[in-house]
Each structure stands twice: as C-alpha cells, then as structure tokens.
Structure 1
C-alpha cells in the first residue's frame, strides 16, 4: 500500500518525534487551547455551555496542484451563488425561465420577502461564501453544503494554525505551507471597501448575538484580531434612516456591519418580531443604502440543498459552462419522477429538508426501522417540495492521532471566499472537522467532533519560505480609539465586571476571616469569643443580604450548625448575595468582553474556574478545606485584577471597570462597618470585632504601622473610613469614584456637573466633613453610634443613586422594538 505523497514528508517528521513525544505534544495542544480560552458553545450540554475546542495534532494536507483546481471551482461557485442571490431578490429569471422551481425558493424560510428589490452599491451581493467539501469516491473534492448566511469557522481556522505552529513547529520542517495572511488582508479590505459612503476610514462593527451563541469565541476573536468593536443589537439604533452605535459620548454613525446574527433575527421591525438580537429598522437603512451589511440580510436562502440538483443548469444559464467542483448527487422531491424514485429507494438516501433554519432533523435512512421509514414517507408525501434526498457516499478519511496511534476518521473541509474586485479571494486551507468516532458518518462540532489544521502545500514553491506578516491598510485604523466611542454594552459589562470582581473578592476574604475565627474559638473557648463569633455570623447575613441567615427566628438554628449556613453563602448560586452567584455573574460579563482579555488573563481565569468547579461538595462542611479553597481563590482573583490593569487601556474602558470596582468595594466597606462598628460592645468583644474587621479588610498590619496602639474604634474609623491616602478606605474610594466619573465623556457641552456626578459629589462632601470623634459617640442607653449609622446609610444611598444615574446616562438599552407587520408565513 503506497503513501499519498502529500503525507510522506509529514509522516517522516511524525516518526522522528515518536509516539511518546506526540502524546506529550497533543496534551500541550489541548492545554494551550484551554489556556487561551478557545471554546465552542454546545447547546444543552450537561458539561456546561463553553466546551473546550478540540484540535487534533495531525493536520490535513492538500497539494497545491490539486488546490488550484479547488480554488478555481470555489471562485466559480461563489460567483455563481452571487448571481443567484441577485436574481432571487431581483428579476427572478431562474424561476420565470423554469431553471429553478419556484417552491425551492419561496418555500425556503431563508427567502425574506422584505428583501425583494433591495439595491446595493457593492459589485457583488454575496460577499463571503463558505463551502463544505469532502473527498468523494472518485478521489475529487465534492461540494456537500453552502454556507452564506453567517459563515463561521475563519477565526477557528486561524487559531488552529497559530496553535499548531506553536506546539509542533517540527511538523513544518521542509514542508512549505501556504499561510492565510493575504486572505485576512482581503477580508479587511472587503470590510473597508464595502462602506456605502466613500469614507477613507469607515466605521465598522461586528454584530454578535452574544456570549451564548455557539461560535461566540470566533466573534470575539475576529473582533480582537481585526481591531473592530464587537457589538450586540441593543448597542445599535436607527435614527434618521441611518444606523448608529450607542457610545458613552453619544451616537456614532455605522458604515459597515459584519453580521453574525441570523437573517430573520436582524430586524425585529420587519422580520422576526420577538428578536432582541437585531436592530429595529435596519432593513430600511439598507434600502436607503446608508449602511452595508456583510452578508446581506436574506442570503440564507442560498443555504438550500434543494438548489443542488439544479446548480449545473444554473451555471450553464449564467456562465455558459459546467460546474468545476462536483456536487453530492441529489433529488428534489417536488418533482413527480424524482419523488417516486426517492420513495422506492429511500433506504439508500440521506433525506434533508430544503432549509435547516429551525434545526430540522436529517434522516440517515439506512439506520431507520420500517416504522420510522413509513413515518418519514408520509412526511415527504405531505409536503414533497420541502425535502431533498441525497446519495449516501463514503467520504474519505484522514489520519487522526488517537490513543497512541493513527486511525482513519471521516473529515469535512470548510473553505472560505471573500469578494475581491470582480472575483473572490480564497483562503488557502480552511477549517477541517473530524468525526468524533471512526464509525461515525456525520461530522459535526455539536456532536462532539474535533478539528484539524488545514495545510495547502507546495514543496517546489520557494516563495512560501518567505516570512509573511499581517499588514492592514492605514485606512483600517480603529475609529473607536477613545473612551468616548466605547459601545455602551461594552462599557456596562466593564462596569459590572469591576463590581462582581470586587464583590467576589470581598466576600471571599470576609468568609475566610470568619472561618479563621471559628477555628480560633475551637482552641480558646472564651466567653468573649463566643459573643464576637455570633456577631460575626450575623454580619455575614447583613453583608450578603441572604436572609434570614443568622438573624431573626432562624438565628438559633443557624448558629447550632453555622457551616451549613456558610455553605449556602459560599456555594448556592441561586442566592443573589452568595460567592457562587457573584462568580457566575462575573462569568457572564467576562465572556461578553472576551475580545478585550489577554491570554494571560484567560489562563488565570481558567485556573480560577477550575479550582472552584473541582471543589468537592462533600467538603462543604470542612473548615480547613474551605479555607484553603478561599486562599487559592483570593490569590487568583488578585492576580486577575492586576492583569486587568496591565492589559486594558483607559480608552478601552478601564475607567468604567475601575468605577465599578471602587463602587462595590465602597458599598461593602459600608456594609461591613454598619454590621460591626455601629453598635458598642464590651471591651473584650469590641477588640475581637475590630481585629476581625481589620483582618477582613487586609488592614491589620497597616493599622499597627499607622497607630502603634491598642485597637481603638476611633482609630479604626480613621483608617477604614476617613483616611484620604489609604486605597482601601471609604473616603479614598469615594474620591476615586468622583475623579473617574468626572473623566467620562459629557453628553453636552455644558461643563457643569452632570446628573451622574451630583450624588457622588455630595457623598465626598459628607465624608470630608465627618469627624472620627463624633462618629464614635454612643447614644445613652442605646449602645448604638447613631451618627455613624446615619453617615453610612446616607453614603450607601448616594452610591446607589450614582450607580442608577450612571446606568441611565450611559447604559440605557431599553428602546422597545415592535414589529409593524406580521411576517410569519405558513410554508
């Protein structure tokens, strides 16, 4: 048996490394992808939404000679589908001349009537095309599917190349592999040149459905790689028949939208009325040619296996030539002869609906029993025009490194084309997907498939040995380079990331302090320790607002088994004040901002998540193990906070993150102080309480250095609340919030204080005038420091009002979107 010459040199390099080294490198590759946060979201996955991306160490190879034919065929197909798209929403000559049956177009949910007769300024309408290829029985690459709505995979293919190159550079020895640098430059040029206006530097955004979308990693990855802001539908708004992005400063007109939101969800005004992913009125802006959308809304109609039986006729009609790339043999059931043939031979076929917009089932008929076959036949007979039968062919396999050996797995190759002048630029390579098992027929990431790096090689081409670099044209400079241009969703997520991080860190430190006090009590058993411990238990409830907790009628029961209540505070993510809830909330904001985070931040975050998720539920009542967990979590959180300050520019939104961080720290400083300082206790108890407060605040050593005295309420108040030079004091935090808010963009030219500044300015003035000697006074017969309580309560309200004003001014996404006409058509 001979070895394919394309693989011979790779196998030589492979054998030089040896099995043990390859195992190690595969593990290194898995680790690198996990550390870099490369994920693919799998819906309803019991293991969680963000599944690590799987990349096999052995690449897939095609020689340049074969690739030239494939490339030419892909350019032809992209050009042909562009003509089909123009015809479907234009003259509809294919239907009028009987080339394509009308049912194939009009019964496809991707055909959107509101898009009919829309005119575009670009030469091509289909600007990005993706084709799924597989090697057929004749040895040639066959077209299996077309992807035109929101083609995915470009970002994953790029990450595959970077990862393989980093982990196994040995594989590339004496093998010339074409790089995708030129293709991504063409993609960037496409985005710039597609602008409906002739701006030298158009405003370009990438529209994502959000972090729960299956390919969200890629949306964020391309945003970071290309340098364009990632926005959600509620970041954009239509005004004066133009699209605007909502920023901290106000509205900025958008010229180009690289769309990753499905067609029907793009405009709730004219399309899917209950969509919160799109922009109301977007289609009308497209009609007015005031914005360019890539790909245009309505292009999903081309993702249509019903077209495949007619594509060669379409090619002859438009181009007067045959298809270069063969297609999978297909029979549309809307024709009487074909319907009869399919029903008589159904066991031989794979049956598909003509569209998959609702993730309809695909039937591999050879695996169906007689009853299931009969049900399928009845479905086809009820609406024959909705179904296509395709020949079941045994696609070829490629070697996959699995469990110390190479084994054959079925593969599917996704290729990418972008419009360039009057033709299409083809990525050299693409995304290779591999079946999850050697016996599996279907290749799908949602079904657990893996991936491969895709090599196009030419060992006789010396030009491939030159180092290639990414180089964007100067006109692609980011318009969103100042904080005033920060999209409002990004700003809001940065603000809440700061708040959730602070809440997580302060809660973890506080619970750790209480657990240490519990341990000390087990050794000492002093009466003052018992009282102070009960006070600390109650303070947990007041700090987290998880009632009844250690208060009210539940108090005695909770104190009998305090670890049970503390476990709720730590691990029950359904409780809003719990540590688990804060971590979960931070995770949501974190994934929404993943295009801003550095790789080091991903690594620290991944370690943080792993430590938390791996903690055994059986240890929820084990104080030493919980304390060790909190120690590790606190260390990772501090490292992450430090990396944020290193990795994000102020103009990228660091200012909003700091405002959120300081605001939450200030709120929790107030809550701790209200719980522990506003009531006067006996001397021994008060000493324990003050020491506990300083410990939770990481301020005991600072106190000793500053005052060199016995713990005293007045000095503690001076340090924790009133010191204007200590970064953890309330006064410092409030002044920092005031300074940072004053740097936020003003919505008007008025230099007077904005509504956001009014409450925080008042808070700073109140604390500036506060005196520790007055705040320590205890009311007669009441044992309370009412002046201190009033001060803290008023400051808490002012911070809350500041947060509300900040939200109203900068983070308001509440524009209601109502559909004017029902667009739900019965098919």
Structure 2
C-alpha cells in the first residue's frame, strides 16, 4: 500500500459532529482519501515512503541552493522548510472560500476608509472608541487627510484554520505588510521540480498570473497624474524576518528593493538617491511597520523609515501600500464586531467567521474574560501579544488596569495534514495564509497560498514546515487564477541604476568573492605542502611550508600551534568566528548576497549551497585528505561565481563589483608576494617558495610554459606585477579597474580614484624588477617598501571609490513644509 493511502487507512476518526477530532486534510473519516486527493493522478497519490523521503531531501537541497531563509521572531536565521505533501483543495471548496476572502478584503478596506475618514462606525456606536484609539495601529497623523483615497488596502493576508466540521474560520488578518507571497511562489517552483509528473498531471492553478496582476495593480495605485510610475519595495533590511520574501517580490516584479536610507523626502515628495541625483518615487510597497516608517512624525528613534514620508502621503504625492495606519484592522478586538460592521458597510452577511473572541474593553466583556480565564486564551491587542499566565493574580491585575488592551479567544481548532516527520507521515496542525489583491475595482484572492504545519500541540516556530497549496481547476480550460487577461499598463523602460547602498554592497561582493578564492588557493597550496613535509620541518619543503603557512596566518590570525597544520587549515575553512578566515568571509559574502538578492541571479545562491555541502563534508570527516578535497570543492564553487556575474548587465553595479574584485586581487597579491619574496632563504627553499607563490596566484602553468620550468624571483615578479596579459597580474587588474572607473557617472578622468590608479600604473611603468631584488644581507628592502606602499595605495583607492561613488546623493535639506494637517 502506498504511503498516503496507508496514512488515510490508519487515521481513525469518529463520525463528524460527534466529537471535536480535528479535520484531516487527506483522510476521510472512513479511512479513504478525500475527494480532492482522489482526483489527483496516481503519480501524486501512489507515492511510496522512499520516494517521498527522496523528494524531501531534494527539496532541502534546492532550497539551500537558492538561499531561501527565514528568521523567526526573536530567533536565528534558518533554512526555509517545505514538506513534500501539499495541501490540496478542490475547485468547489475554493469557490466558496474565495467569495469569503474577497468580501473580507473589501470589508477591511471599508473599515479603514471609515476610520480614517468620516468615522461613522464610531459615531453610530458600532465600534467602541477604545478599540480604535487604544490600538497602536491607529495613526492619528494620517487620519481624515486620506479619507478620499478609497484604496487603503491593495493586498491583504488572511490566516485561516478549519474547524472540526471542515469549515474555514479566520485566525488573523494581515493588512499592515502581509508577507509570504514570495515564499508561496518559491514553494511552487521547488515542488514542481521535485514532483514534475504529479504537478503536471494535477491540473492546478499556476501562480505566475497573480504576480503579473500584482505588478499592474501596484503601478496603477500611483497618483493619477503620473504616467510612468516608479515603484519601490521598502525593506527593513537583509536581517528582517522575511527578507527573502521581500527580495523575491522585488526581483520578480522588477522593482528596486530599497531601505529607508535610500529614500529622501523633499518638497513634499519622496525621492530615491541614485549616484549623486534624486529620482521621484510614486509608489512604495511597504514592508516596514507603519510606526517605524517616519521618524519625524511617528517613531522618532526609527532608522528604518523615511523622514517626511507621512507628509508626502498626506499631500498625495506618493502612494504607500498598504497605507500607513492599515495595521489598525489587525486588532483582534475587532473580531466580535465584524459581522455587524459587514452588515452596516457592505449590506451583506459575513461569510468567513473569526475565532470566537471576547474583548475586555466593556464591563460585560471584562467580567466574562475574568470569569473564563481558565477556558480562554488571553492575548493583548498590541505587541507583544502573548501574556504571562504563570501568575493568575498578576494577569487579573493587568486586565483590570487596562481592560481595553486584552481579549480572550476560544482555543483555536485547526485541521491536520500528513507531514513527513523523522521518516514517516504524521498528522500536523495546519494553517493557511491566503492573499487577496485589489484588481481593478474589486478584490481577487490568489488561487493558492502559503500553508504551514507543526506538530499538534506545539508552539515552537522553529519546527514549523511550509506546504505548497494546490487548488485544482474545475475544468482543464479554466484560465490560471481565473485571469484570461491582464489589465493593460503603459510600457516604458525604467531606469536601472541601483541606489548607492546597493552599489556599495556589489563592490564588496566583488572584494569578498575574490578574497575567498585567493584564501582557498593559498589553503590548497599549504595543504599540499603539509601532506608531504609537515613531519620534516628542517627540509627545504618543511621550511617552505613554514613560509606559506606564515602568510596564511598573517591574513587570518590563528591561535593554533604553528605545527598543527591540519587543525589550522580546518579552522581556516570552517570557523566563521576566526578573523579573516574562509568561513567568516563566506558568511560576509552571504550577507551581502542576501541584501542585493534583487540585483543578482538566483544561481548565485547555488554557489553557497555547494560551498556549504563541501564544508559539511569536512566537518563530518576527521581525515586529513578531506581538507584538500573540501577546499577544492569550495574553490570550484566560488569560481562558478565568475560565470554567474559574467551574465549580469554591464551597469554601474557590475562595474563596481569588478572594481572591488580588481582591488582585492591586487591587494591579495601584495600580501602574498610581500613576505614570501622579500627574503633570500637558499636556492632550494626559494625555488619551492616561488612555486607555491605561483600556484597560489594561479600562474604556475603560464610561468612553466614561458620559462620551461626554470623559476627565478625576477621571472615570477615580471609575470605577477607587469604582465598585462596575465589576469592575475597587478598591471592587468589596475587596467581593468581603470576601465571600469571610466564608465561610472561622476568619473571625469581626474577624480581621486582615477588619479590613484594612474599613479599606480605610472609606478609600474617605472618599475625596475632587478632593482627590486637587490639584497641587503638576506633581505630585499626595495621590494619590502614597494609591496607595503602598493598595498597602502590600494587601500586608499578603495576608500576613494567609496567616497566618490557611494555618496548617498544630495545632502537632505530642511523639509520646508508643515507636519500638521490632521483632524484626529
């Protein structure tokens, strides 16, 4: 018997209505598969446990290769998890749910328009004032001034769970900055690759058309006088909980991913800083909570927002999606009043009920909550939502002191779905986040969504796993997402210049990538010497090993015994806390890649996946040979980065990345040849050191072909310093840096970075290799001075590039407009 049928047969459920047993998404009470699953092809239903386990392993590999990560609130960043068993929903069932979701979004929008406009719900007594004015999501700074703007909500999220009878109920509304659309699309992309036949034969609604409509909807939300709107995605930064989701949306829609420091308010509008100039922004898809969006009028200590954004919103020069203050409808205290508000605002009965909730803001509600403390789940209406229930006395005191801040909710019952857990299918509690988009004049739910599952009774976010949501089509010719066409939008080519912050990141992406490559080459050369000579310290090879290992330790200081080459090399490759190590540099490289995810190919993250697997093999294998094997695999992975970046558009970002790469390669070369060629150690040792230097600089083959195996200091320096045909030479890289600098806006031929490069090239033109190698005893003082001066010159060049090309645009002026204008 196949694993899903076996699971269904093993689930014993009482007759529905006789017990509160959770609804099972796959198994009917009689032990057969539910109707939606019976419709799927045999490839989906008749999967075996080994096949499912294989799919799970492949999913984990693909997610790692694409760098899909998530940071739980207050936790550490972790890999995104996807279960191979999807949530399957029939067309008929979805049609009912779809109507409820569309109504829910329309109702939330109507509530927002009223609360920030005429406030009839308050005037009629439908809503007690304490619910609104006592909630942190209500922003007085935008009240009434935006009342005429009828599109407060463009996209909403609705968290859903099933009752034991199979009915969907709303667990929470997400209106402030609903996240998860990018994760939902990523889940679909991965699962369709792992289970291609099952996916193809299932007859599902594709998700891509939803993103096409999202792009159009965002552009049409711009102020009406704008013909070619600029849309940006405002992110808290790469360390935020859903940074991947934000970057995925920005990249998929083709909009810049910006942070607060990339924008400036001036003359009552919002502008984006772009290489010394400002460009107008018309629409902001906000992923920063409203209270952090403007340090001038909202939360003063915020470093995430844009000073003056609120005034620009009031003036109507920029549209923020979702609007500032939309978080007020996420208030759980609204749930008991939803049905009445739906009747009043939409003249319809509420289709999707919420979790039964008691608000303590009225005397009756407070008494009911206090009487049922042992039965209800007590929550605050504002963050932090969870309350300390360890002391009943303190909890009662808190509720009595500020009753309007508390609600009590009936224990949430949700369905269960079979989830692969430690090699077998187990029923896990399931919730569904559905998304609804303003499309034209109405709201249209995404046909699909993002489901999450966790062991029943568990509240630990770290053990949640996501599920793809498969909504079956009613007929094969039904259009995906029910969208036969997409709203037209005027086509215009958008400027592609990244903001200075992104240019800075790309510059350091080039530097760190080159640093990793050079460190790995040095580690491989050291390991090969250690394999042969670590037991013979007084031989020429042993003395060469000491020289090369000394260079490695100068680049990455180590506390290891100098004779413990294996431990030192393992630490260099694995230890992310060791200064200058491969492990630490790769970590920095990943962080930067996450921050510019919208600018680079997803293939970049395959590089990190391959490197992580190589490091994992090394960590698990105690044998010395694994050091060289893993270092080689890591080098192969980082070399593939050249192929990834080679396909990038040759814009300012690419040129700055190449400038960073050229500066770092030149700097690493100076740090390599400085201590190795500055001393004469004897004929045999010098020959071996020169060979190791050429190997670490990837120039051994070229030198051997040109000089027939005869290695001398002069020929090594000529190849590594002056040969403009050698991509590893100092001259080659300085010429490349000079060429890229010339392409950048603001470069005039006489800027400081260009002058510094010219000085270095002129120094090479005057260079006499023979004079560099003059001896004073056993040392070469001219060469020491040259290597040190060149390294310092390169560091000044790096600083000058930052000063000239990463400036954040014109200095912000006084805002010059009133911050008043509210009536609330």
Fold agreement, TM-score > 0.5:
yes
In the other structure, the counterpart of 1:799 is 794
Q: Check the 8 A contact 1:543/1:675 in 2, yes or no.
A: no
Counterpart in the other structure of 2:770: 773
Q: Give the deviation of 1:800 after TM superposition.
A: 1.4
**Aligned counterparts, 1:52-451, within 5 A:** 53-119=80-146, 122-172=149-199, 175-196=202-223, 198-248=225-275, 250-356=277-383, 359-361=384-386, 372-402=391-421, 406-434=425-453, 436-437=454-455, 439-440=456-457, 446-451=461-466
| 1:13, distance to aligned residue in structure 2 (A) | 4.9
> Which string of whole-angstrom CA distances, capped at 9 and with x for unpartnered residues, describes residues 764-798 of structure 1?
1211221222322234xx54333333333332232
| Gap change, CA 1:275 and 1:465, over 3 Å in 2 | closer
* 1:634 corresponds to: 635
Structure 1 CA distance for aligned equivalents of residues 273 and 480 of structure 2: 46
Where does residue 697 of structure 1 map in the other structure? 697
Residue in 2 that maps onto 1:498: 510
Deviation at 1:126, TM superposition (A): 1.5
C-alpha displacement of 1:161:
2.3
The gaps in structure 1 that reach 5 residues or longer are 550-556
CA distance in 2, matches of 1:188, 1:774: 64
- 2:37/2:45 contact within 8 Å kept: no
1:645 aligns with 2:662: no
What is the alpha-carbon distance in structure 1 between the residues aligned to residue 792 and residue 238 of structure 2? 33
Residue 785 (1) aligns with residue 780 (2): yes
Shift of 1:719: 0.5
CA contact (8 A) 2:207 2:481 kept: no
Q: Which one is further off, 802-811 or 469-478?
A: 469-478
Larger CA deviation: 61-70 vs 307-316? 61-70
Paired position in structure 2 for 1:585: 588
Q: Distance in 1 between matches of 2:562 and 2:34?
A: 73
SS of residue matched to 2:358: strand
How much does 1:611 deviate?
A: 2.0
Query: Per-residue CA shift, 1:573-617, capped at 9, x if unaligned?
Result: 334322222222112112212234434432232120232245338
> Do the aligned partners of 1:235 and 1:813 also contact (CA within 8 Å) in 2?
yes
Question: CA 1:472 to 1:584, structure 2 compared with 1: closer, same or farther past 3 Å?
Answer: farther
CA contact (8 A) 2:69 2:77 kept: no
* Residues 707/447 of structure 1: CA separation in 2 closer, same or farther (3 Å cut): closer
Could you tell me how far apart the structure 1 residues matched to 2:814 and 2:567 are?
Answer: 48
- Distance in 1 (alpha carbons) for counterparts of 2:708 and 2:435: 69
What is the CA distance between 1:384 and its match in structure 2? 1.1
For the 8 Å contact 1:177–1:464, the answer to whether it is kept is no
Check whether the contact 1:672–1:693 (CA below 8 A) recurs between aligned residues.
yes
Task: Supply the distance in 2 between the matched residues of 1:469 and 1:664 (Cα, whole angstroms).
Answer: 52
CA–CA distance in structure 1, aligned partners of residues 61 and 690 of structure 2: 45
Aligned to 2:729: 729
Q: CA deviation at 1:804?
A: 0.9
1: CA distance between counterparts of 2:588 and 2:683?
A: 40
Q: Distance in 2 between matches of 1:476 and 1:331?
A: 51
- The answer for the alignment partner of 2:9 in structure 1 is none
1:758 shift after superposition: 1.6
Is the deviation greater in 28-37 or in 308-317? Answer: 28-37
Count of matched residue positions in the alignment of Structure 1 and Structure 2: 788
Q: Deviations over 1:501-543 (max 9, x none)?
A: 1111112222332333333334766554454444334333444
Shift of 1:122: 4.8
Give CA deviations for 1:156-203 in whole Å, capped at 9, x if unaligned. Answer: 222222233332244357643233344322211111111125333211
Q: CA RMSD for the aligned pairs?
A: 3.2
Q: Distance in 1 between matches of 2:481 and 2:276?
A: 45
Deviations 1:94-140 (A, max 9, x none): 22322111111122122223222332775311221111122224532
* CA pair 687-271 structure 1, distance change in 2 beyond 3 A: same
1:129–1:147: 8 Å Cα contact kept in structure 2?
A: yes
What residue number does 1:810 align with?
Answer: 805
Aligned ranges 1:613-624 → 2 under 5 Å: 613-616=616-619, 619=622, 623-624=624-625
Question: Partner of 1:762 in structure 2?
Answer: 759
Question: Which secondary structure state, in structure 1, belongs to the residue aligned with residue 724 of structure 2?
Answer: coil
Q: SS at the partner of 1:99?
A: coil
1:314-371 deviation per Cα after TM superposition (whole angstroms, max 9, x unaligned): 2222223321222221110111112212221222212111123xx33167xxxx7xx6
Matched, 1:607 2:603: no
Once the two structures are TM-superposed, the CA of residue 644 in structure 1 deviates from its matched residue by: 2.5
TM-score normalized by the length of structure 2: 0.88
Give the conservation status (yes or no) of the 8 Å contact 1:605–1:640: no
Query: Partner of 2:618: helix, strand, or coil?
Result: coil
- Judge conservation of contact 1:121–1:196 (CA < 8 Å) in 2: no
Q: Secondary structure at the match of 2:547?
A: helix
Could you tell me whether the CA contact under 8 Å between 2:541 and 2:685 is conserved in 1?
A: yes
Cα gap change, 1:579 to 1:177, in 2 (>3 Å)? closer
Find the counterpart in structure 1 of residue 13 from structure 2. none
Q: How far apart in 2 are the matches of 1:266 and 1:756?
A: 36
1:670-709 to 2 correspondences below 5 Å: 670-708=670-708
Residue pair 1:181, 1:468 contacting (<8 A) in 2 also: no
Structure-2 change in CA distance of 1:405 and 1:587 (3 Å) = closer
Given the superposition, is the C-alpha separation of residues 663 and 453 from structure 1 closer, same or farther in structure 2, using an over 3 Å criterion? Answer: same
